[in-house]
């Protein structure tokens, strides 16, 4: 393969490579009510980290840094667990979510004493969420004032250099190289 062809192939490959998607992080808050003697009342503040916009996927991390009752502070999920961990984002907003982390299935250093649950199965549908001192479950709908707030706005995506420009530059470089080789070659006759 000629050196010029190799350079052109590399430029085309670079022009075709997609940019990595920015991830979004959200804060959440709700006031947990006492539920069947199982819940822990008070304000709960948390974070859902590593969600991709305009997609459905798993959170990389869900943390509770503050609970008015003082229990269950820490991480409820890291990549790979728990089973119900799906968040759908549409234009920078969380539309639907299904998340539950039961402490009995977590391993330290994740929270093992408590359960966190957040569910909304239809956009603009009702939200059920709860926090419990039980490591095996939570009575849902034992909350008030649930909301998500975007905490890292990456702004508009960078404007990429269009692929045709890279192809044009590769073509011009190839023509220049061919012209140079043609001038250096001995003329017949």
Residue 114 lies in a domain: yes
- Residue identified by tokens 């003082």 is 70
Domain that holds residue 98: 29-149
The answer to whether 90 and 54 have CB atoms below 8 angstroms apart is yes
* pLDDT score of 109: 80
pLDDT tens for 91-127 read 999 999 988 887 777 777 888 888 888 888 887 777 7
pLDDT digits (tens, 9 = 90+) for 48-69: 999 999 999 999 989 999 988 7
State CA 137 to chain mean position distance. Answer: 26
- Tokens 């909301």 belong to 147
The dihedral over CA atoms of 84, 85, 90, 91, expressed in degrees to the nearest 10, equals 170
Find the angle CA(155)-CA(26)-CA(117) to the nearest 5 degrees. Answer: 155
Question: What is the C-alpha R_g of the chain?
Answer: 26
Pairing outcome for strands 56-57 and 23-32:
unpaired
Q: Is residue 59 part of a domain?
A: yes
Look at the chain and report how many structural domains it folds into: 1
Q: What is the dihedral of CA 174, 180, 183, 184, to 10 degrees?
A: -120
Residue 12 belongs to a domain:
no
- Residue 164 covered by a domain: no
Cα-based angle 26, 47, 71 (whole degrees, multiple of 5)? 155
pLDDT, tens digit, 9 for 90 and up, residues 6-45: 455 554 554 444 555 678 999 998 887 654 444 557 788 9
- Average pLDDT, rounded, for the chain: 74
pTM: 0.66
Q: Is residue 103 domain-resident?
A: yes
**Would residue 19 count as lying in a domain?**
no
Q: Residue 6 falls within a domain, yes or no?
A: no
The answer to whether position 1 is within a domain reads no
């Amino acid at each position: 393969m000629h050196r010029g062809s190799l350079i052109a192939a590399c430029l085309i490959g670079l022009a075709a490579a997609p940019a990595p998607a920015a991830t979004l992080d959200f804060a959440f808050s709700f006031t947990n009510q006492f539920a069947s003697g199982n819940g822990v009342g008070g304000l709960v503040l948390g974070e859902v980290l590593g969600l991709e916009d305009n997609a459905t996927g798993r959170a990389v991390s869900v943390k509770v840094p503050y609970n008015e009752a003082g229990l269950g502070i820490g991480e409820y999920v890291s990549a790979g667990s728990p089973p119900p961990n799906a968040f759908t984002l549409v234009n920078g907003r969380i539309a639907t979510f299904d998340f539950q982390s039961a402490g009995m299935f977590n391993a330290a250093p994740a929270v093992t004493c408590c359960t966190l649950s957040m569910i909304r199965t239809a956009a603009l549908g009702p939200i059920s969420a709860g926090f419990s001192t039980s490591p095996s479950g939570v009575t849902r709908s034992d909350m008030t004032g649930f909301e998500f707030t975007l905490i890292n706005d990456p702004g508009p995506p960078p404007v990429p250099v269009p692929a045709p420009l890279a192809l044009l530059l590769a073509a011009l470089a190839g023509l220049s190289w061919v012209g140079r080789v043609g001038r250096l070659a001995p003329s017949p006759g």
